[in-house]
Amino acid sequence: MVSKDSTSGTVKLASGHSYPLTGLGLWKVPQESCAELVYGSLKLGYRLLDGAADYDNEVQAGEGVTRALKEGIVKREDVTVVSKLWNTYHAAQHVEAACRRSLQDWNVDYFDVYYVHMPISLKYVDPKVRYPPGWSYDGTPTGALEIENSPFHETWKAMESLVDLGLVRNIAISNMPGGMIMDLMAYARIKPAVLQVELHPYLSQVNLVRLAQAFKIHVTAYSSFGPTSWVGISDTVVAKCEPLFTHSTIEKIAKDHSATPAQVILRWATQRTISVIPKSSSSERLKGNLENEKFDLTEEEIKAVDELNVNLRFADPAAADARLGVYA
Ligand code: NAD
């Protein structure tokens, strides 16, 4: 069910909590500008903040929220604050401490949504040694990844305890393929409320979205703008496509609606009840992105964007196998 207000439409999660269709992504937001960005976005009307321990800016994001709460710009219950359990904390005994650390950093009592960032369990790194720990066990950019033998059902049970403890309202999954979701649904006492995956016109994820929706799991798209976010990270894949912003199909639709290409790309998702969390630091773009819900695409236009799908994936956690070190 979608309802619209002046900020963003919201959907009702299976748990009954509401969750915005358009939010702000916080990956790669520098610490120096994060508090101001979060504060400014709340002032603009954003009500969904998509953070993660791994983004290394939760303290600053929390400062932005605290300031907005103090100034009465928002009430805590009106903001959907999101964090994610990092890969090194999957072992059941580390889940609660990881969540409490993120809560403390954000300076909030509970998360509206707490994701397992990836279905990849890496060897534990003590936060006193390094926080956030990143991918490689030795902390270097090219160091080996070390797997921890921590099956997902144990992690999920620990995630369910977070709901029982009142630390988290909804637990959620990210970067999880369909087969694994089916398996999770077979044993989950508390079902995942949201699935966050890479989703954009070059990777429309039709089957995965259908599967999630059949299980009443709400879908949130990340990297909605496709290659833009991956320049300098996945350059060989980026080189395989043209930027979505200048694609003739997107440009034409944008022109016909007097909208920006970014708004067309976002609306293609939100109109189908898929949430988006674009990241931007420019107030003009932030405003424009939030306003993507102010117009509707025709069915033909949605189909034309669907046809851009080439199953092109910029974030491939499975590529981590190239750097696997010793199995624990
Ligand atoms: P994005 O698709 O939001 O793209 C961000 C880039 O687009 C930035 O370079 C920004 O300057 C540019 N941009 C933003 N608005 C624009 C506009 N209106 N016009 C032109 N350029 C514009 O990419 P993202 O940051 O990868 O994804 C969004 C969020 O999703 C992240 O910040 C993060 O919160 C989340 N995410 C999650 C995962 C995961 O594993 N769960 C992975 C990647 C991202």
Q: What is the CATH number of the domain that holds 203?
A: 3.20.20.100
For residue 228, the CA-to-ligand 1 centroid distance in Å is 8
Q: Tokens in use for 264?
A: 């067309």
Structural domain contains residue 320: no
> What pLDDT, on a 0 to 100 scale, did the predictor assign at position 141?
86
Range of 273's domain? 3-313
Percentage with pLDDT > 90 across the chain:
91
Structural domain contains residue 170: yes
| Mean pLDDT (whole number) for 80-93 | 98
Q: Residue 200: what are its φ and ψ, rounded to 5°?
A: -160, 175
Crossing angle, helix 58-70 and helix 31-44, to 10 degrees? 40
Place of tokens 């117009």: 295
| Mean pLDDT (whole number) for 230-257 | 95
Is 22 a residue whose pLDDT tops 80? yes
> What pLDDT, on a 0 to 100 scale, did the predictor assign at position 324?
63
Number of domains in the chain: 1
For residue 280, the CA-to-ligand 1 centroid distance in Å is 7
Structural domain contains residue 318: no
Indicate which residue's Cα is closest to atom 42 of ligand 1. Answer: 222
Q: Tokens in use for 23?
A: 């939010």
Q: Which has more pLDDT, 2 or 237? A: 237
| Amino acid letter, residue 10 | T
CB-ligand 1 contact for 174 (6 Å cutoff) = yes
Structural domain contains residue 163: yes
Confidence of residue 99 (pLDDT cuts 50, 70, 90): very high
Structural domain contains residue 326: no
Indicate which residue's Cα is closest to atom 30 of ligand 1. Answer: 222
Going from the C-alpha of 276 to that of each of 11, 88, 259, 280, 295, the distances in angstroms are 12, 26, 17, 12, 16
Nearest to 150 by CA among 85, 92, 94, 98: 92
| Mean pLDDT (whole number) for 184-204 | 98
Indicate which residue's Cα is closest to atom 9 of ligand 1. Answer: 229
CB-ligand 1 contact for 23 (6 Å cutoff) = no
Q: How many CB atoms lie within 10 A of CB 147?
A: 18
Indicate which residue's Cα is closest to atom 13 of ligand 1. Answer: 280
CB-ligand 1 contact for 315 (6 Å cutoff) = yes
**Cα–Cα distance measured from residue 133 to residue 124, given in angstroms and rounded to the nearest whole number:** 9
For residue 276, the CA-to-ligand 1 centroid distance in Å is 9
Q: Tokens in use for 34?
A: 């994060």
Is 31 a residue whose pLDDT tops 50? yes
| Mean pLDDT (whole number) for 304-317 | 94
Is 322 a residue whose pLDDT tops 80? no
Place of tokens 């992690």: 155
Confidence of residue 8 (pLDDT cuts 50, 70, 90): confident
CB-ligand 1 contact for 69 (6 Å cutoff) = no
39, 55, 137, 202: which one is catalytic? 55
Structural domain contains residue 322: no
Q: Per-residue b/e over 247-257, b at no fewer than 16 CB within 10 Å?
A: bebbeebbeeb
> What pLDDT, on a 0 to 100 scale, did the predictor assign at position 318?
64
For residue 29, the CA-to-ligand 1 centroid distance in Å is 10
> What pLDDT, on a 0 to 100 scale, did the predictor assign at position 5?
46
How far is CA 169 from its chain centroid? 16
Structural domain contains residue 327: no
Atom of ligand 1 nearest to the CA of 197: 41
Is 326 a residue whose pLDDT tops 70? no
CB 9 within 8 Å of CB 270: yes
pTM of the model: 0.96
Q: Residue 2: what are its φ and ψ, rounded to 5°?
A: -115, 130
| Mean pLDDT (whole number) for 232-251 | 94
Residue 124 appears among annotated catalytic residues: no
Structural domain contains residue 299: yes
Mean pLDDT of all residues in the chain?
A: 95
Q: Tokens in use for 90?
A: 């999957």
Is 4 a residue whose pLDDT tops 50? no
